[in-house]
Amino acid sequence: MVDSRTPDSHVVAASLLSAVADPIRLQLLHVLVGRTRCVCDLQPEPPIPGNLLSYHLKVLREAGLIEGTRRGRWIDYSLTEGALERLHAALPDPASVARQLVVVR
């Protein structure tokens, strides 16, 4: 049995997964689950320089996982609608993987 995903969907899935493959970006996503946070409250542990935090936020924004809303000189970040569902869908489905396994005797 062949994977039902198209080559393009594999590219999209890989780009989403590569966006969260960094420990800092994954930590940022965890902080944003279920709430909006000011950029001033997003400093991970251990702290990183502000320009590096901006870079990681940019990667997540470009992947379509987070969005920012300007509030004066601050930016409030939140997960985009369906971000976690898209990440989940990017992972292989265990049921389809099991169907693809063929036992050769």
The per-residue pLDDT for range 4-23, each reduced to its tens digit, is 567 788 888 899 999 999 99
Residue 80 backbone dihedrals phi, psi, to 5 degrees: -75, 160
Rounded (5°) CA angle 30-81-5? 95
What average pLDDT score do residues 73-96 get?
90
In a domain, 70, yes or no: yes
In a domain, 25, yes or no: yes
| 3-state class (DSSP) for residue 45 | coil
| 3-state class (DSSP) for residue 62 | helix
What average pLDDT score do residues 97-101 get?
60
Task: Indicate which CATH number applies to the domain containing 50.
Answer: 1.10.10.10
Q: What is the pTM for the complete model shown?
A: 0.80
Query: Does the pLDDT value for residue 1 go beyond 50?
Result: no
Q: What's the total number of domains in the chain?
A: 1
Of 11, 38, 42, the residue nearest 25 (C-alpha) = 42
In a domain, 1, yes or no: no
In a domain, 105, yes or no: no
In a domain, 85, yes or no: yes
**Residue-range definition of the domain harbouring residue 65:** 7-100
